[in-house]
Amino acid sequence: MSNEHSMRRVTAIRNGTVIDHIPQGQALAVLDMLGISDATSVPVSLVMNVPSKKMGNKDIIKVEDRELTQGELDRLALVAPDANVAIIRAYTVAEKMIINLGDEMVNVVRCTMSNCITSNLREPLPHRMKVVSRDPLELRCHYCGRPQDLVKLVKNVI
């Protein structure tokens, strides 16, 4: 099945954001990271496990009537660093955006080490993860220096 067909599983959106080429099974994590929940009032389409020429299988998310900001999208570097993001206006792609993994992720995830000082949720300084390596992705807590287990880290989204 071609990529074009898989995109038609849900209707085209008029205005909003399409996040394509999410690694298979990560769509729910992406929604979590973007803070999109059942309390969100805008329509959200979720397509999971569809065939992709590039990736084998992939997930897709369409968020209507909301243009995600670069800051919001950069959070996705943890679970979907190669996702394609398009801002849709009047049914056409108005802007293509790239997810940037900077040198540090600030207030995106909490350190997975239970004895880290940041595990006291009342401590007010930002949660900071240093990017030690991009491929493979390796993150370390700025405070305790512990290398992070990425599977556990995704569950620690702020």
Partner 1 sequence: MENSRRVKLLIFKDNVHEFAAIVVIGGKTVAGLITMDDLTNEEIIKILEDADRLLPVARGELYLPLLQGRILGNLFFEPSTRTRMSFETAMKRLGGDVVNLGDVKTSSVVKGETLFDTIQMVDGYTDIIAMRHPRQGAAQYAQDSARVPILNGGDGAGHHPTQTMLDLFTIKQAHGKLDGLKVILAGDLRFGRTVHSLSHALTRFGCELIFASPDILKMPPEIVSDLKSHGGDITETEDLYSMMEDADVVYMTRIQKERFSDEDEYAKVAGAYKLHANDLSDVKAGMIIMHPLPRVDEIHPSVDTTRHARYFEQAFNGVVARMALLCKLLGVEVPADVQKAGGAL
Stretch in the footprint of partner 1 (CB under 8 A) among 16-24, 38-46, 86-94, 138-146: 138-146
- Phi, psi at residue 156, to the nearest 5°? -105, 30
Nearest to 74 by CA among 97, 99, 102: 99
3-state secondary structure of 73: helix
157 lies in the binding site for partner 1 (CB under 8 A): no
Q: In angstroms, rounded to a whole number, what is the distance separating the alpha carbons of residues 90 and 70?
A: 20
Q: Is 113 in the site for partner 1 (CB under 8 A)?
A: yes
Q: Considering the complex, what minimum distance in angstroms separates the CB of residue 37 from partner 1?
A: 16
Say whether residue 118 binds partner 1 (CB under 8 A): yes
Residue 134 and residue 132: Cα distance in Å, rounded? 7
Q: Does 34 bind partner 1 (CB under 8 A)?
A: no
Which parts of this chain interact with partner 1 (CB under 8 A)? Answer: 106-107, 111, 113, 115-120, 122-126, 141-147
